[in-house]
């Protein structure tokens, strides 16, 4: 993948990661434990797929475009 496309994708993936983080926080407010567990399990699965299949391939090729690391290093 070329760097220009990777940069655009990384920018959008950063938004997705931020959304996942917000969803994770909000899901802690689900009062029903079983429903909260189901929701968080599904969210976790989405997060793993996004990281493994979308974010990591870009980050391996262009480490400076890693949307997760750029947030963690700030």
Q: 35 Cβ partners below 8 Å, 6+ apart?
A: none
pTM for this prediction = 0.83
What is the overall mean pLDDT for the chain? 93
Q: Please choose, from the candidates 19, 1, 8, the residue with its C-alpha nearest in 3D space to the C-alpha of residue 71.
A: 19
pLDDT of 69: 76
Q: Which domain holds residue 34?
A: 3-72
Give the side-chain half-sphere CA count within 13 A for 63: 1
Mean pLDDT by 10 residues, the chain (74 residues): 96 96 98 98 97 96 87 49
User: What total of structural domains would you count in the chain?
Assistant: 1
């Amino acid at each position: 993948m070329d760097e220009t496309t990777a940069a655009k994708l990384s920018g959008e993936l950063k938004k997705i990661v931020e959304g996942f983080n917000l969803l994770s926080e909000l899901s802690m407010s689900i009062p029903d434990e079983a429903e909260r567990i189901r929701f968080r399990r599904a969210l976790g699965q989405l997060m793993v797929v996004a990281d493994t299949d979308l974010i990591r391939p870009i980050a391996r090729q262009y480490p400076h475009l890693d949307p997760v690391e750029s947030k963690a290093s700030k």
